[in-house]
Chains A and B, each alone.
Chain A
Amino acid sequence: MHPFAYVAPVTVEEAVAVLDKHGDRARPLAGGTDLLVKTRANVWELDAVVDIKNIPELMTVTVGNDGLSIGAGVPCYQIYENSEVAAGYPCIVDGTDIIGGIQIQSRAALGGNLCNAAPSADGVCPLIVHSAVAHIAGPGGNREVAVEDFCTGPSQTVLKKGELLVSMSMPKPPANFGAAYTRFIPRNEMDIAVAGVAVSLVLDPSGQNFESARIALASVGPVPILATAAGDSLAGKPVNDESIAAAAALARDAASPITDMRGTIEQRRQLIEVLTGRMINKAIERARG
């Protein structure tokens, strides 16, 4: 491992300055569950790691009328153990409480899951179906990017030199909203998704018709995929097996998986169809309360 310096700034501005100075030879350190593995494996050769856990904005969860905001460095357990998050945003819990085991969840941050930009990231599809926005600070000022546009390839993101992910925020869900995420793995836990699906939807006041839906797919493309056509197909449709099956088939079509050690193209496409149907039904259950 290349020896790196340890920097622990207390403001976003200081962190950005260090990241800007070192360019791609510095990285933010949240939980370290990807960073320390990659530096040890010499995937990244760094001159500095920037521990962001002393920066208040990056370590805060706020739940209110504006919605939910999660600091980029907040570890998974502080998200899924937050009773307001669990009550209002169970899909976010679905993602964060299956990343690694308890030890990993003590450290691994949802913001880190996003910045690591693995196609299989369990935390990202739930953010996408909640229409979450990534708040980025950089040497040229602040900007916002929709989470579905944040990852640009495996381990690649929109972050430019000196930029730091500060938080992810999402609007307060409207009435009759439900969302859910699941993945398929051959073990019970401690595994990486062969395929994953998040669904969010809004029902009409009768609970019998879809008003809108968003469907996002994990581990079946170079980045997490927002399956727009699949989600849009539900708008205005009655809640029944036919419309759910049609959306699941469209989600299957939106998947562009590869065959690797974890699964084949055919298995993954099949999984997307099955999991989409299941998550639509689970989201409906949650929407109906």
Chain B
Amino acid sequence: MINRDGQSRLTFWVTVLPPTLWVAVFFLVPLGIVWLYSFGENRGLTEIALSGTLSNYIRSLQPLYLEIFAKSVVVAGLTTLLCLIIGFPVALAIVFASEKSRAWLLLLVMLPFWTNLLIRTYALMAVLRTEGFANFTLEWLWDNASGVMTFAGLQPLGAFQPFELLYNNFAVVVGLVYVHLPFMVLPLYAALDRLDKSLMEASLDLGAGHLRTLFSIVVPLAIPGIVSGVIITFVPALGAYLTPDLLGGPDSQMIANVIERQFKRANDWPFGAALSFLLMYATFIAIAMRAYFTRGKAIDAHGI
């Protein structure tokens, strides 16, 4: 007994220590330094005095920055919602696909991860721009439709006006959805795959339609997957800066763009650190709230 106890304790430490050290050295310590900077002041060009001042936080709470925070939350929220609406049927389809095609479908979802984000964003620019592939396709369809109408003896359509698809908020949301969709699909798939399919059969046998089964049985049971999907989509979308930089228009500024500038052009690390930590506090609160709400849901589900 004693021997086994000692062994399991050793196993415990061997498994727990390396990741703990890793997190401490490469995550908590650097994060702690940035956190300390947020209470600092610039002294000259390269030095920061950690004076304990709150002025950076006071400056971050001005309406100007709060509005940018709010806008970023709206954009990230919209992105998450769209990812959920698109991702849920995709995940469901993969779960019900045949064993053989399932692996290929999952591979297709993960495939974009093998390409650098910057390259994917530039590819999207080539698709969306005025003289890009999306507009070329639409123009081709338009011209053909126009040809068919002339053939049928109708007035041809006017000249094709290309759509403004790039350099606006629309492009930012498209870019964010495109990039974050796999983050949503994978946890949803994991949750739906574990789901007991006999429950769905029971629901259908007892006379509920497909939609009713989906919303009363599948969705409530998939809540943990939905919540983790929402969180790991929303959090990186909120911190996105490359996508709004490259795809956005004159007013597509998100909070991460402002933060990035503080560390680069404005050379104001303490203020950038304060903005970063405000974002992080907000994220922690959001996650805590979700955890609280889903705990309630989980108990309900067990209660049934």
Question: Are A and B a genuine interacting pair, yes or no?
Answer: no
List residues of chain A with CB under 8 Å of any chain B CB.
none
